[in-house]
Amino acid sequence: MTAMDTGTGTGIDVRSVFLPHEDPDASLAFYRDVLGFEVRGDVGYGELRWITVGPPGGAGTSIVLEPPSADPGRTPEEVRTVAAMMAKGTFAGLLLTADDLDAAFERFVAAGADVVQEPVQQDWGVRDCAVRDPAGNLLRVQERPA
């Protein structure tokens, strides 16, 4: 199966998603040490830093942690708006899955993650929890079906 032959019938696959960060070292520690993701890239340009992480094994979608001010099309006002939304945890989010939700949640708590919701069985059929990464991005983690 090639990257473009995903079985979806569309010939299109997800390569990367982008999440903002303001503290590259804190973000790197969270995604690498708490989530257990591998570092696929760490590129700096001046004071800016882009960090690419993903599940171990190198295949699949990557997460690119990027400085919110890196987009040259953003005005200073837009950068301030993004920063304010990040501080509230309303700018970006990500949905992850875990084989053992309780163990994942224990790692989040032990690492001092900002817990939004403890593991709970939702009315719509999934069991999940929610935390914020160091930049305020909301991460919902669903228990992977057996």
Q: How far is CA 70 from CA 19, 77, 100, 132, in A?
A: 12, 14, 36, 22
Coil, strand or helix at 106: helix
Instruction: Give the span between the Cα atoms of 37 and 40, in whole angstroms.
Output: 9
Nearest to 23 by CA among 140, 133, 139: 133
Low-confidence ranges of the chain (pLDDT < 70): 1-9
Quote the CA–CA distance of 46 and 96 in Å, as a whole number.
Answer: 31
Structural domains in the chain, sorted by start: 16-143 (3.10.180.10)
- Tell me the torsion sign for CA atoms 82, 84, 90, 94: positive
* Helices vs. strands in the chain: H and E counts, helices first: 3, 8
What three-state secondary structure class fits 94? strand
d(CA 53, CA 65): 8
pLDDT of residue 7: 55
What is the value of pTM for the model shown?
0.86
DSSP 68: T
Q: What is the DSSP letter of 97?
A: E
What DSSP state is assigned to residue 22? S
Q: Look at residue 59 in the predicted model and tell me its pLDDT.
A: 75
